[in-house]
Amino acid sequence: MSRNEGMDRRQLLRLAGLSAAGVGLTAAGCGSGGGSNGAVTIRHAWWGADDRAKKVQECVRLFEKKHPKIKVKTDFQQYADFWKKFNTQAAGGNPPDVIQNAVTFLRKYEAKNVLLDLNPQAKKGNLQLDGFRSGLEKFAEIDGKLLGVPVGSNSMALVIDEKVYEKAGIDHSLGWTWDDWYAGLRKIKSVSHMAGDSGPHGIMYLYDLILRQNGKAFFTKDGMGFGEAELLPYWTESLARVKAGIYADQKKVEQIKPASALAKGISAGEFTWDNFSVRYSAEGKSSYGLAPIPSTDGKKTGQYLGSLMLSGTARTKHPAEVATFISFMTHDPAVARIMGYDRGVPATTAQFEAFQPADAPSKAIGAYETEIADAGVLEPITPHPAGADVVEAAFLRIGSDMSLGKSSPQDSVKQFFSEAKTALASN
């Protein structure tokens, strides 16, 4: 035995060989795709709360049962974290095969060749494209490429505390104007001594509707569809309404997050997507209903059907399996019975008919979407340029800071346009 307990050449080589083998095994373990039994594994990622996760996982189990040759690995996060993770994965060339997607991100990832064109898969018969409800047939087409398939539709609405609105005697039927709405808020203030709204100044999708009612839009294909002259009076007025107690105390609104001000009884109404109304009933103690979006002229609400969609990613090695999975999630009636209105009213007729809601909030959502479709107020969605997601986050944050009194409406407007310019240029 040597004094220093060193190694001879053979031992060294053996150690080096073992290390290399170890690295090789680890690398092999990291790879995904083909399984030993001929099954193909795809990865599906989405954002949402635990409840959605349970439902999606149940759908995945059903899919795997019907398609034993395809395994689906699942992954989910909160909305903001989801996109941070996806950005990193996509930039590293390892995005999930199927993702939940939204219109805000379409052009951004199309410009970077991240999304899979599903048209060839539709032609091969792996993806069924018929049977979509009216207005949802050509949802995610950009430059002839099919970049996503809608799983559900939703539209902006005003969720109201029905008891408070009733007590104040407010008529909120379709065709009401912003003046009617504001008069209603003043009534609520005098009758119930509470704020009539949680404060809509940071909600990009609502402000988009207001702009559309006035012949503009939040975005054009390449950039911003409005200027400082439009936003300044809107935010100035909002701040005055916060100070007057017509809109809720914004400090309180922040404090109770992630709970909503409406459900906590801090305000009597809140603008949001219609399918979000389900959560208010779960969180709050009152009864909550949906009121239409007020308009400038009593007719044009500027509304459109927004939607969550499923997209494939271009780096996938299994486009056929990706298409099969998306087709299943959007068409199989059993999926609708599991998901309900969690991601909006189902996008296909087969799924729409398969799920008959029994709970009052879901019934109200179905009735609301039927009402606005029958009224003929729905229009096509305006395009969102690359970087729209960052602009939306900035609008929400800066609007919120302004309402908290952290900066003046003038400075806030300047700050917003400065950040929007940077976001649109760098994405």
Partner 1 sequence: MTHIQTSASGPALKSDPAAAEWNGPGRKNRAAPQPRGHRENLTGYLFMSPWIAGFLFLIAGPMVFSLYLAFTDYNLFDAPRWVGLQNFTDMFADPRWRQSVKVTSWYVLIGTPIKLAAALAVAMLLAQKRWGQSFYRAAFYAPSLIGASVSAAIVWRALFSDGAVVDRGQQLFGIDAGGWIGDPEMIIYALVGLTVWQFGAPMVIFLAGLKQVPKELYEAAEMDGAGSWRRFWSITLPMISPVLFFNVLLETIHSFQIFASAYIVSNGTCGPGDATLVYTCYLYDQGFANSRMGFASAMAWLLLVAVGLVTAVLFWSQKRWVHYEEDGR
Check: CB of residue 45 under 8 Å from CB of residue 76.
yes
Residue 297 Cβ vs partner 1, minimum distance, rounded to whole Å: 36
Report the run of H or E that residue 163 belongs to, with start and end: helix 162-168
**Torsion of Cα atoms, 200 then 204 then 206 then 211, to 10°:** 120
Residue identified by tokens 């993770």 is: 85
Residue closer to partner 1 by CB (options 91, 367) is 91
Query: Which of 78/134 has CB closer to partner 1?
Result: 78
Beta bridge partners of 422: none
Contact 142, 339 (CB under 8 A): no
Beta carbon nearer to partner 1, 83 or 341: 83
Q: What is the DSSP string of 67-123?
A: -TTEEEEEEEE-HHHHHHHHHHHHHTT---SEEEEEHHHHHHHHHTT-BPP-HHHHH
* Stretch binding partner 1 (CB under 8 A), from 140-148, 215-223, 268-276, 400-408: 400-408
Closer to partner 1 by CB, 190 or 426: give it: 426
Interaction residues for partner 1, span 96-125 (CB under 8 A): 112, 114
- Say whether residue 236 binds partner 1 (CB under 8 A): no
Instruction: Identify the residue among 51, 171, 254, 359 touching partner 1 (CB under 8 A).
Output: 254
Task: Tell me the sheet residues that pair with 288.
Answer: 161
Q: Helix, strand, or coil here: 257?
A: coil
Question: With CB under 8 A as the contact rule, which of the stretches 178-186, 219-227, 373-381, 390-398 interacts with partner 1?
Answer: 390-398
In sequence order, the 6+-apart residues with CB closer than 8 A to the CB of 182 are 246
Identified binder of partner 1 from the candidate list 177, 373, 393, 421, rule CB under 8 A: 393
* Part in contact with partner 1 (CB under 8 A); list of ranges 14-22, 213-221, 328-336, 370-378: 14-22
Residue 164 CA, distance from chain mean position: 29
Least distance to partner 1, CB of residue 260, Å:
13
Stretch that binds partner 1, among 192-200, 201-209, 317-325, 401-409 (CB under 8 A): 401-409
Closest CA to 44 of 63, 29, 31, 27: 63
User: How many residues make contact with partner 1 (CB under 8 A)?
Assistant: 42
193 binds partner 1 (CB under 8 A): no
Please report how close the Cβ of residue 112 comes to partner 1 at its closest, in angstroms: 4
d(CA 292, CA 2): 87
> Binding pattern to partner 1, positions 17-36, x when CB under 8 A?
--x-----------------
Where does this chain touch partner 1 (CB under 8 A) — which range of 154-162, 218-226, 367-375, 392-400? 392-400
Instruction: Report the C-alpha gap between 375 and 377 in whole angstroms.
Output: 6
Q: Would you tell me which residues interact with partner 1 (CB under 8 A)?
A: 1-4, 6-9, 12, 15-16, 19, 78, 80-81, 83-84, 87-88, 90-91, 112, 114, 251-252, 254-258, 390, 393, 397, 400-401, 404, 406, 415, 422-423, 426-427
